Amino acid sequence: VAYAIHTAVQPRVKINLKGIAIGDGMVDPSTMFDYADFLYQIGLVDSNQAAYIREASQKAKQFIDDGRYLDAFYIFDALLNGDIVKEPSYFKNVTGLDFYYNFLLSKEPKQLGYYNAFVQTALVRKAIHVGKLTFNDGNAVEAHLLEDIMKSVKPWLTVLMENYKVMIYNGQLDIIIAYPLTANMISTISWSGAKAFEKAPRKIWLTPSGEDVAGYVRQVGNFTEVLVRNAGHLLPFDQPEVALDMITRFIEG
């Protein structure tokens, strides 16, 4: 969306885009497929299981290189995602875990579903301008986007990084878009600040109270990379106060 706004020649609506924030995002699947080493290093698979994941991942990356994006997604889905396959994913079979958004949890916490009722209240509906549209879980949207999920948006991100404030953040405990995978992807972006970012010091970010470490930040020019401690894929759920502090700093800083 941000790239479309940036490149629009005669937009119907003028949008004063200032920046974008990407949280645990699949930006460039080909450089973010190293699940084997990550899962092995956090102890969720052994070397044999990691070898199986590595071999399947290499096949998926080859499909991406060949433009066979749907075939690549099917491998990703069977290995970890588990949205389309009828049987449990390989990840679930070998780990017993049913929740890849936080590796400290084995199942989705029931509190995660509380927002369903909240966003459908009259007050929230009015605030987010959805009128009488029906709230849904997004499965139908995903089904229409299967061929796009494994496509890279890194070229678009590169353009945005040269023209706007950009923040990419990850929860430390996320599996499906793990921090090391994102860090690897960032290292492959060809942008004007790449060399400076590579040498930029990582700074400690404290919680608003100053009594704990919220995470770690690296910043060069208008680009900011953040690791958030004690949080998984769903940062506002795991660490709401820290999430608010982070996005406020990004918008106002």
Tell me the C-alpha distance between 195 and 133, whole Å: 47
Number of Cβ within a 10 Å radius of residue 23: 21
Strands 165-171 vs 19-23: parallel, antiparallel or unpaired: parallel
pLDDT for the residue numbered 9:
78
pLDDT of 137 reads 83
For 21, the 3-state DSSP assignment is strand
Neighbour-count burial of 91, counting CB atoms closer than 10 A to its CB (0-12 exposed, 13-18 middle, 19+ buried): buried
Predicted confidence at residue 136, as pLDDT, reads 87
Q: Confirm or reject CATH 3.30.70.20 for domain 153-252, answering yes or no.
A: no
- The segments of the chain whose pLDDT lies below 50 read none
In this structure, what token pair is assigned to residue 241?
Answer: 């106060």
Round to whole Å and give the CA distance between 9 and 212.
47
Residue 128 per-residue DSSP state: T
pLDDT of residue 253: 82
C-beta separation of 2 from 166 below 8 A:
no
Domain(s) of CATH 3.40.50.12670: residues in the chain: 153-252
Helix (H) or strand (E) holding 166: strand 165-171
Q: What is the DSSP string of 176-243?
A: TT-HHHHHHHHTT---TTHHHHHHPPPEEEE-TTSSSEEEEEEEETTEEEEEETT--S-HHHH-HHHH
In order of 44, 77, 86, 197, 239, the CA distances from 107 in angstroms are 15, 18, 19, 37, 18
Distance between CA atoms of 51 and 92, rounded to whole angstroms?
16
Predicted TM-score of the model (pTM)? 0.93
Convert the pLDDT of each residue in 49-61 to its tens digit. 999 999 999 999 9
pLDDT at 139: 86
Q: What is the per-residue pLDDT across 81-140, written as a single tens digit (0 to 9) for each?
A: 999 999 999 999 999 999 999 999 999 999 999 989 999 999 999 999 999 898 988 888
